Homo-oligomer: A and B are copies of this chain.
Amino acid sequence: MKAIIEDETFGTPGKHEGPARVVRVAVAGATGYAGLELLRLLSRHPQARVTRLMSSGRDGKKEFPIEDSHPSLRGKFTVPCQPLSVEALAPSEVDLVFLATPHQTALEVAPALLERGLRVVDLSAAFRLKDTAAYPRWYGFEHNAHSALKEAVYGVTELNGKHIAKARLVANPGCYATSVILALAPVLRERWIDSEAGIISDSKSGASGAGRGLSEKLHFVEVNENCRAYGLFNHRHVPEMLQALNLAEGDFTFTPHLLPITRGILSTIYVRLSQPRTHEEVVTLYRNFYAHAPFVRVLAHGVPEIQSVAQTNFTDIGFSIDGDGRRMIIVSALDNLIKGAAGQAIQNMNLMYGFDEGTALT
């Protein structure tokens, strides 16, 4: 399968010159769904080599082959999955750590990894919100890693690419957040919509977004042939959307829904245009905005659906405007595990190491 290239690797980030050859990667939280997706993508990345797999264990075992957790990876990785330990993540073996762990684990581990000279892409929410006061309210814990938080770069690749390239710590965005932020950034930056008139994102997600932890709400029979709204006026991804889009809480309503599918997010976003616009004008605005973004596809007509982006790193965005040119619906679609998690994490890694942005993703 994947050729293991045993050649030149990285040392301390920032010290290398010229594009990297091979980055040595550790995945912590390898047994979850984001972990699986990271491993699938990394297994076909010609410039990444997975040297460590870590998790909090499985079936009472501390060390086990990753295929016990993810049978689809049979035969792909020989390195065993072991308990998460900062000590076992030495710069002599690892350049970059993907944290696909619970928030508080990431909060604890990331600063120590930075200190050891490693770079980190954190898929948890531990470093997404700049305002430390937001953590107790939205996540229920105090944030005590101020220095790491300060240097963390919020990782919507298309908006923060330049900072991501140099970052030591990337706070990979939430799946819903990516879907909403990419859909709204152009019209908000250009002030084409009046945010005070209220922006509503009615979003729908597949169940993998809720992770692999057991709960009755995710039991097959409870999800199948069903659809339900949850987290009304109260979802944890709201503060990172507000922060990234510079919106006031009262002007933005976000309602996530659980779909009986495995992967994909569809966000149907309702805005009021501050002056009438044609469909063509909006398409042009977005196409210009994303002219250099290989993973955002702006539809010339119609709106996207989940199937068009499932199993890909694309975000597709389309529009519909009413006859008066004042009400606009923006629909965005992405795969929550790829562009909404592991794919964007690798896209960010690609920037961090000077690889082609699309490596392993196209």
Cα distance A305–B222 in the bound complex, in angstroms: 10
List chain B residues, Cβ under 8 A from A316. Answer: 71, 74
Q: Which candidate, A99-107, A115-123, A152-160, A255-263, is the interface stretch facing chain B?
A: A255-263
**Could you list 16 A-B pairs, sorted by A, with CB under 8 Å?**
A44-B362, A71-B305, A71-B308, A198-B198, A204-B204, A214-B214, A214-B215, A218-B221, A223-B224, A225-B262, A225-B307, A227-B259, A227-B264, A229-B266, A259-B259, A260-B260
Given contacts A220-B223, A362-B1, contact A253 B229 (CB under 8 A): no
Q: Which candidate, A11-19, A162-170, A323-331, is the interface stretch facing chain B?
A: A323-331
Given contacts A212-B219, A215-B214, contact A270 B250 (CB under 8 A): no
In the complex the two chains form, is A226's CB within 8 Å of B305's CB? yes
List chain B residues, Cβ under 8 A from A309. Answer: 72
A residues engaging B (CB < 8 A)?
Answer: 1-2, 33, 43-44, 71-72, 74-75, 197-198, 200, 202, 204, 206-208, 212, 214-216, 218-229, 232-233, 250, 253, 255, 257, 259-264, 266, 268, 270, 272, 294, 297, 299, 303-312, 314, 316, 320-324, 326-327, 329, 331, 358, 362
Name which residue of chain B comes closest to A272, CB basis.
Answer: B198
Given contacts A266-B257, A308-B72, contact A221 B215 (CB under 8 A): no
Name which residue of chain B comes closest to A232, CB basis.
Answer: B320
Name which residue of chain B comes closest to A311, CB basis.
Answer: B311
CB A208 to nearest CB in B, in angstroms, measures: 5
In the complex the two chains form, is B216's CB within 8 Å of A212's CB? yes
In the complex the two chains form, is A207's CB within 8 Å of B220's CB? yes
